[in-house]
Chains A and B, each alone.
Chain A
Amino acid sequence: GAVVSQHPSRVICKSGTSVKIECRSLDFQATTMFWYRQFPKKSLMLMATSNEGSKATYEQGVEKDKFLINHASLTLSTLTVTSAHPEDSSFYICSARSPISENTEAFFGQGTRLTVV
Protein backbone atom coordinates (compact mmCIF):
# COMPACT_ATOMS: atom_id res chain seq x y z
CA GLY A 1 0.00 0.00 0.00
CA ALA A 2 0.89 3.64 -0.17
CA VAL A 3 3.53 4.77 2.28
CA VAL A 4 4.29 8.10 3.88
CA SER A 5 7.78 8.55 5.25
CA GLN A 6 8.67 11.11 7.87
CA HIS A 7 12.17 12.19 8.85
CA PRO A 8 13.70 12.46 11.37
CA SER A 9 11.94 10.13 13.77
CA ARG A 10 13.27 12.01 16.76
CA VAL A 11 15.24 15.17 17.28
CA ILE A 12 16.58 17.10 20.23
CA CYS A 13 17.35 20.77 19.74
CA LYS A 14 18.30 23.75 21.83
CA SER A 15 15.88 26.56 22.60
CA GLY A 16 15.96 29.23 19.96
CA THR A 17 17.06 27.00 17.11
CA SER A 18 14.96 25.82 14.18
CA VAL A 19 14.09 22.26 13.25
CA LYS A 20 12.90 20.96 9.88
CA ILE A 21 10.74 17.86 9.56
CA GLU A 22 10.23 16.20 6.19
CA CYS A 23 7.19 14.27 5.02
CA ARG A 24 7.38 12.28 1.79
CA SER A 25 4.77 10.28 -0.06
CA LEU A 26 6.76 7.39 -1.47
CA ASP A 27 4.55 5.90 -4.15
CA PHE A 28 1.86 8.43 -4.89
CA GLN A 29 1.58 12.12 -5.54
CA ALA A 30 -0.07 14.08 -2.78
CA THR A 31 -1.39 17.52 -3.65
CA THR A 32 -2.45 17.87 -0.03
CA MET A 33 -0.70 16.78 3.13
CA PHE A 34 -1.69 17.39 6.72
CA TRP A 35 0.41 18.16 9.77
CA TYR A 36 -0.73 17.10 13.22
CA ARG A 37 0.69 17.61 16.69
CA GLN A 38 0.16 15.29 19.60
CA PHE A 39 0.97 16.02 23.24
CA PRO A 40 1.43 13.17 25.76
CA LYS A 41 -1.74 11.21 26.43
CA LYS A 42 -3.70 13.46 24.07
CA SER A 43 -5.21 12.91 20.67
CA LEU A 44 -3.87 14.22 17.38
CA MET A 45 -4.65 17.86 16.71
CA LEU A 46 -4.53 19.21 13.18
CA MET A 47 -2.08 22.07 12.82
CA ALA A 48 -2.23 22.87 9.13
CA THR A 49 -3.07 21.66 5.68
CA SER A 50 -0.18 21.74 3.25
CA ASN A 51 -1.08 22.46 -0.36
CA GLU A 52 1.36 21.80 -3.19
CA GLY A 53 2.33 25.01 -4.93
CA SER A 54 0.36 27.31 -2.64
CA LYS A 55 0.26 28.59 0.91
CA ALA A 56 -0.61 26.28 3.75
CA THR A 57 -3.88 26.65 5.62
CA TYR A 58 -3.39 26.88 9.37
CA GLU A 59 -5.83 25.93 12.09
CA GLN A 60 -6.94 28.51 14.57
CA GLY A 61 -4.32 29.15 17.22
CA VAL A 62 -1.40 27.81 15.19
CA GLU A 63 1.19 30.48 14.40
CA LYS A 64 2.07 30.40 10.72
CA ASP A 65 5.31 32.31 11.27
CA LYS A 66 6.46 29.81 13.86
CA PHE A 67 5.47 26.64 12.01
CA LEU A 68 6.61 27.19 8.45
CA ILE A 69 5.23 24.76 5.91
CA ASN A 70 6.61 24.28 2.43
CA HIS A 71 5.03 21.90 -0.09
CA ALA A 72 7.27 22.44 -3.08
CA SER A 73 6.64 19.15 -4.84
CA LEU A 74 3.90 16.55 -5.09
CA THR A 75 5.83 14.16 -2.89
CA LEU A 76 7.40 16.37 -0.24
CA SER A 77 6.11 18.69 2.46
CA THR A 78 8.30 20.16 5.17
CA LEU A 79 7.42 21.62 8.56
CA THR A 80 9.97 23.95 10.14
CA VAL A 81 9.59 24.79 13.80
CA THR A 82 11.31 28.15 14.11
CA SER A 83 12.84 29.56 17.29
CA ALA A 84 11.83 26.44 19.16
CA HIS A 85 10.90 26.60 22.82
CA PRO A 86 10.44 23.78 25.34
CA GLU A 87 6.65 24.08 25.01
CA ASP A 88 7.04 23.10 21.33
CA SER A 89 8.24 19.68 22.47
CA SER A 90 5.69 17.29 21.04
CA PHE A 91 5.05 14.45 18.61
CA TYR A 92 4.56 15.80 15.08
CA ILE A 93 2.82 13.62 12.50
CA CYS A 94 2.11 14.14 8.82
CA SER A 95 -0.42 12.41 6.64
CA ALA A 96 -1.41 12.26 3.00
CA ARG A 97 -4.14 10.63 1.02
CA SER A 98 -3.74 9.24 -2.44
CA PRO A 99 -6.01 11.31 -4.72
CA ILE A 100 -7.01 8.31 -6.82
CA SER A 101 -10.42 7.90 -5.23
CA GLU A 102 -12.39 9.92 -2.77
CA ASN A 103 -12.84 7.47 0.05
CA THR A 104 -9.40 5.96 0.27
CA GLU A 105 -7.67 5.85 3.58
CA ALA A 106 -5.14 8.44 4.70
CA PHE A 107 -1.58 7.30 5.30
CA PHE A 108 0.47 8.61 8.16
CA GLY A 109 4.16 9.08 8.68
CA GLN A 110 5.81 7.42 11.62
CA GLY A 111 5.95 10.70 13.50
CA THR A 112 8.75 12.94 14.77
CA ARG A 113 9.43 13.26 18.48
CA LEU A 114 10.74 16.78 19.05
CA THR A 115 12.38 17.63 22.34
CA VAL A 116 13.48 21.22 22.90
CA VAL A 117 15.97 21.67 25.73
Chain B
Amino acid sequence: DAKTTQPPSMDCAEGRAANLPCNHSTISGNEYVYWYRQIHSQGPQYIIHGLKNNETNEMASLIITEDRKSSTLILPHATLRDTAVYYCIVRPPSGSARQLTFGSGTQLTVLP
Protein backbone atom coordinates (compact mmCIF):
# COMPACT_ATOMS: atom_id res chain seq x y z
CA ASP B 1 0.00 0.00 0.00
CA ALA B 2 1.17 3.52 -0.70
CA LYS B 3 2.79 5.38 2.18
CA THR B 4 1.07 8.39 3.69
CA THR B 5 2.52 11.38 5.51
CA GLN B 6 0.55 13.39 8.04
CA PRO B 7 1.51 16.10 10.52
CA PRO B 8 1.86 14.59 13.99
CA SER B 9 -0.45 17.08 15.66
CA MET B 10 -2.85 19.96 15.04
CA ASP B 11 -5.03 22.20 17.14
CA CYS B 12 -8.38 23.63 16.16
CA ALA B 13 -10.77 25.98 17.91
CA GLU B 14 -14.18 24.60 18.76
CA GLY B 15 -16.76 25.54 16.12
CA ARG B 16 -14.16 26.19 13.47
CA ALA B 17 -13.34 23.97 10.52
CA ALA B 18 -10.55 21.46 11.03
CA ASN B 19 -8.50 20.78 7.91
CA LEU B 20 -6.29 17.71 8.17
CA PRO B 21 -3.78 17.21 5.34
CA CYS B 22 -2.39 13.95 4.06
CA ASN B 23 0.34 13.40 1.50
CA HIS B 24 0.24 10.23 -0.57
CA SER B 25 2.49 11.05 -3.48
CA THR B 26 3.07 7.39 -4.45
CA ILE B 27 -0.60 6.49 -4.67
CA SER B 28 -1.52 4.13 -7.49
CA GLY B 29 -4.41 4.62 -9.88
CA ASN B 30 -6.69 2.10 -8.22
CA GLU B 31 -5.95 2.97 -4.61
CA TYR B 32 -8.60 4.58 -2.48
CA VAL B 33 -7.98 7.14 0.24
CA TYR B 34 -9.58 6.21 3.56
CA TRP B 35 -9.83 8.26 6.72
CA TYR B 36 -10.36 6.78 10.16
CA ARG B 37 -10.15 8.34 13.58
CA GLN B 38 -9.42 6.88 16.98
CA ILE B 39 -10.71 8.50 20.10
CA HIS B 40 -8.64 7.65 23.15
CA SER B 41 -9.03 4.02 24.30
CA GLN B 42 -11.53 3.16 21.58
CA GLY B 43 -11.32 1.25 18.33
CA PRO B 44 -10.87 3.21 15.10
CA GLN B 45 -13.98 4.71 13.54
CA TYR B 46 -14.50 5.00 9.80
CA ILE B 47 -14.99 8.55 8.57
CA ILE B 48 -14.94 8.68 4.78
CA HIS B 49 -13.18 7.37 1.71
CA GLY B 50 -12.74 8.37 -1.91
CA LEU B 51 -10.97 7.58 -5.16
CA LYS B 52 -10.87 10.70 -7.36
CA ASN B 53 -13.84 12.88 -6.66
CA ASN B 54 -14.42 14.92 -3.56
CA GLU B 55 -16.72 13.22 -1.11
CA THR B 56 -18.98 14.45 1.65
CA ASN B 57 -20.98 12.68 4.31
CA GLU B 58 -22.56 13.58 7.61
CA MET B 59 -19.22 13.51 9.38
CA ALA B 60 -16.77 15.18 7.04
CA SER B 61 -15.67 16.17 3.57
CA LEU B 62 -12.75 14.70 1.68
CA ILE B 63 -10.94 16.82 -0.86
CA ILE B 64 -8.55 14.93 -3.16
CA THR B 65 -6.21 16.92 -5.39
CA GLU B 66 -6.47 16.42 -9.13
CA ASP B 67 -3.15 14.57 -9.25
CA ARG B 68 -4.32 12.49 -6.24
CA LYS B 69 -1.01 12.98 -4.48
CA SER B 70 -2.60 14.60 -1.47
CA SER B 71 -5.92 14.99 0.26
CA THR B 72 -7.55 16.98 3.02
CA LEU B 73 -10.11 15.85 5.52
CA ILE B 74 -12.41 18.65 6.58
CA LEU B 75 -14.47 18.62 9.74
CA PRO B 76 -16.70 21.64 9.07
CA HIS B 77 -17.55 22.56 12.66
CA ALA B 78 -15.19 20.85 15.07
CA THR B 79 -16.45 19.96 18.54
CA LEU B 80 -14.55 18.85 21.62
CA ARG B 81 -15.61 15.28 20.87
CA ASP B 82 -13.69 15.41 17.60
CA THR B 83 -10.43 15.33 19.55
CA ALA B 84 -8.81 12.13 18.32
CA VAL B 85 -6.00 10.68 16.25
CA TYR B 86 -6.90 10.85 12.55
CA TYR B 87 -5.44 8.26 10.20
CA CYS B 88 -5.15 8.65 6.44
CA ILE B 89 -4.76 5.29 4.68
CA VAL B 90 -4.50 4.36 1.02
CA ARG B 91 -5.32 0.89 -0.23
CA PRO B 92 -6.49 -0.86 -3.38
CA PRO B 93 -9.98 -2.36 -3.61
CA SER B 94 -8.63 -5.90 -3.62
CA GLY B 95 -11.40 -7.50 -1.68
CA SER B 96 -12.20 -8.04 1.93
CA ALA B 97 -9.00 -9.93 2.69
CA ARG B 98 -6.82 -6.83 2.79
CA GLN B 99 -5.99 -5.36 6.14
CA LEU B 100 -5.55 -1.65 6.78
CA THR B 101 -2.02 -0.44 7.46
CA PHE B 102 -1.98 2.40 9.96
CA GLY B 103 0.65 5.14 10.02
CA SER B 104 1.25 7.52 12.88
CA GLY B 105 -1.77 9.72 12.16
CA THR B 106 -2.49 13.27 13.26
CA GLN B 107 -3.49 14.04 16.84
CA LEU B 108 -6.22 16.65 16.48
CA THR B 109 -6.98 18.59 19.63
CA VAL B 110 -10.10 20.73 19.57
CA LEU B 111 -9.74 23.60 22.01
CA PRO B 112 -12.64 25.25 23.83
Contact = CB atoms under 8 A, between A and B. Distances in A.
Interface string B90-104: 000111110111111
A93 B99 CA distance: 13
B99 A111 contact: no
Interface residues of B, number: 25
A59 to B, nearest CB: 9
Contacts of B24: none
Given A49-B97, A102-B93, A105-B49, A111 B104 contact: no
B104 A43 contact: yes
Given A43-B102, A46-B101, A107 B96 contact: no
A106 interface: yes
A109 B42 CA distance: 8
B28 interface: no
A44 B99 CA distance: 11
A117 B29 CA distance: 48
B43 A110 contact: yes
B98 to A, nearest CB: 8
Given A43-B105, A103-B49, A103-B93, A34 B44 contact: no
A108 B43 contact: yes
Contact of B41 (A34, A99, A113): A113
B45 interface: yes
A32 B100 CA distance: 13
A34 B44 CA distance: 13
Given A34-B99, A110-B43, 11 more contacts: A31-B97, A36-B102, A46-B99, A49-B99, A91-B41, A95-B44, A95-B100, A102-B95, A102-B96, A106-B46, A107-B46
Interface of B: 32, 34, 36, 38, 41-46, 49, 51, 87, 93-97, 99-105
Interface of A: 4, 6, 30-32, 34, 36, 43-46, 49, 91, 93, 95, 97-99, 102-111, 113
